[in-house]
Amino acid sequence: DTGVSQDPRHKITKRGQNVTFRCDPISEHNRLYWYRQTLGQGPEFLTYFQNEAQLEKSRLLSDRFSAERPKGSFSTLEIQRTEQGDSAMYLCASSDNRVSPQFFGPGTRLTVL
Amino acid sequence: QKEVEQDPGPLSVPEGAIVSLNCTYSNSAFQYFMWYRQYSRKGPELLMYTYSSGNKEDGRFTAQVDKSSKYISLFIRDSQPSDSATYLCAMSDGGTSYGKLTFGQGTILTVHP
């Protein structure tokens, strides 16, 4: 399977705990995006990487959120001191240039108790 | 007011019907327009990708873009029960925003046999 993969698919955690998600983009894609989707809403942009450089962050990405893409391959999204409002589907997408379509992974569903 | 407005439905049609899904937007910089299909608890799947105004057809799906009216549509002909999903419109200006997507909230479609 050469699509975008995400791990884990589901994560249940207690409020205040830290969580980390991983995204593996399509291998030849140098652009990687993170989005967050809550129930009944469309995905909302969180952050963007071109190769290893994080070039844009949404105001939705509070100080508790950090994302990395070491060596321009896979990416991680960490949420520190989780809150119940962080419960959502976290989606990763990749593309090979700014005008190409983005292909999404299956998402990581986070539940904060 | 949101940048992209999409009628959330839900929309219920009989098998074989023609389905029309629509989005309006306010940002005149949007140039790239997409439709994604999302099954429950899955990631969005790209259906159609168009640039600027005009029509694009792919099998049973036709995408229309009217930039003068800031209005896009997706038509599904001969709808099937397997088309039951949430349909998301998405758009991008392709340039200054690094290609990040702005989504509508999604339309829930049910095709009943």
pLDDT in tens, A73-94: 999 999 999 999 999 999 999 9
Please give the pLDDT value at position B85: 97
A56, B5, B67 from A45: Cα distances, Å: 10, 16, 23
**Interchain proximity B88–A56, CB inside 8 Å:** no
Distance of CA B59 to the CA centre of its chain: 15
- When pLDDT is averaged across residues B83-110 and rounded to a whole number, the result is 91
**Interchain proximity A95–B32, CB inside 8 Å:** no
B100 vs A contacts (CB less than 8 Å): 33, 45, 48, 56
**Interchain proximity A98–B99, CB inside 8 Å:** yes
Please give the pLDDT value at position B96: 66
Please give the pLDDT value at position A71: 87
Please give the pLDDT value at position A1: 53
Check pLDDT > 90 for residue B94. Answer: no
- When pLDDT is averaged across residues B65-88 and rounded to a whole number, the result is 97
Of residues B33 and B94, the one with the higher pLDDT is: B33
